[in-house]
A = this chain, B = another copy of it.
Amino acid sequence: MQEDRKLAVLRAIVEDYVATEEPVGSKALVERHRLGVSPATVRNDMATLEDEGYITQPHTSAGRVPTDKGYRLFVDRLTTVKPMSPAEKRAISTFLDGAVDLDDVVSRSVRLLSQLTRQVAVVQYPTLSRSTVRHVELVALAPTRLLVVLILSSGRVEQRVVEVAVPLTDEVLADLRTVIGRAAAGQVIAEAVTALRDLESTDPTTTVIVDVLVDAMVDHRSDERIAVGGTANLARYGDHFDSAVRPLLEAIEEHVVLLKLLGEATEGGAVTVRIGAEGPYEELSSTSVVATGYGPHDEAVATLGIVGPTRMDYPGTMAAVRAVARYVSRLLDEA
């Protein structure tokens, strides 16, 4: 038996199954793909593929369906990420170019991604920890009430209100601005935190402000912010409602779970594919995740991607995820 024909058969099975959502049989295969051999031959190949664990039959005398292992091989060796068409590229840029701020970039990306892939899209907000402090602003709302605004290189803005014991004069405030600005501005979060902590003992007012700033910087809640879109695409899952859609909807609610699913931000533009039970959640054994890191200057500060059924168009999806990540990264370069 020819090894490469066997792989061609696997590829054909995956493609057909993805397209039709039905177990694919030997006859249909030779008809749709010019394999140059008879159904019987294909059947032999299929038997081997099944022995090796790449495909299964839902029941005796039914067609074959790829297993997770089959998809894995398909993704790793049988497919190349197909480049986006010029039209698609244009769509991406027109869609994203109007964004006014970071929030807008994220929400547009999520919508774009879900439309391109027709899957549920997830975009993580650029993580605090890797960005630098661009500016800290103190605004007096009342004599003893202060608004602390933290502006980061990623475009993120965090704000907190602080009550201070002693009423603040304009001069004191100006001083505080300089002191804090000198300590934090331009630093990576981690460094800024250390520098600020050094100021803590100075006096009660400074201490309370520094506390809240540090708090805002290390706040986990912020690290976990994500945007989700395209949940309407879940409707296309058709049946498997309870087994597939319900756990996914639950995962979507739990942003922490989603973040874990997305996994680590990957450097260098590589798109990660996690297929079915490879992931950490057994309820999601029939969903795959296609994700990649993004961020300014090829430094992955966050992750974006899609979540969908294992039965999905991997080449197309991977292409879309990669293209959007690249475009968003370039947007962040400019900012």
In Å, the complex CA distance between A61 and B253 comes to 42
In the complex, which residues 233-272 of chain A have their Cβ closer than 8 Å to any Cβ of chain B?
234-235, 241-242, 245-246, 249-250, 252-253
A221 within 8 Å of B (CB atoms) = yes
Q: Is the CB of A157 within 8 A of B160?
A: no
Q: Is the CB of B231 within 8 A of A246?
A: no
CB < 8 Å: which of B157, B253, B335 contacts A231? B253
A25 within 8 Å of B (CB atoms) = no
Q: Is the CB of B231 within 8 A of A231?
A: yes
A146 to chain B, nearest CB (A): 11
In Å, the complex CA distance between A126 and B149 comes to 20
Chain B residues whose CB sits within 8 angstroms of the CB of A235 once the complex forms: 241-242, 245-246, 249-250
A214 within 8 Å of B (CB atoms) = no
A229 within 8 Å of B (CB atoms) = yes
Chain B residues whose CB sits within 8 angstroms of the CB of A52 once the complex forms: none
In Å, the complex CA distance between A135 and B232 comes to 39
Chain B residue with Cβ nearest A102? B159
Q: Is the CB of A335 within 8 A of B250?
A: no
Q: Is the CB of A151 within 8 A of B139?
A: yes
In the complex, which residues 4-53 of chain A have their Cβ closer than 8 Å to any Cβ of chain B?
none
A78 within 8 Å of B (CB atoms) = no
User: Given A135-B141, A246-B235, do A253 and B230 touch, yes or no (CB 8 Å)?
Assistant: yes
A87 within 8 Å of B (CB atoms) = no
A72 within 8 Å of B (CB atoms) = no
A-B complex: 7 closest residue pairs judged by Cβ atoms: A235-B246, A232-B249, A232-B250, A232-B253, A135-B139, A157-B159, A231-B249
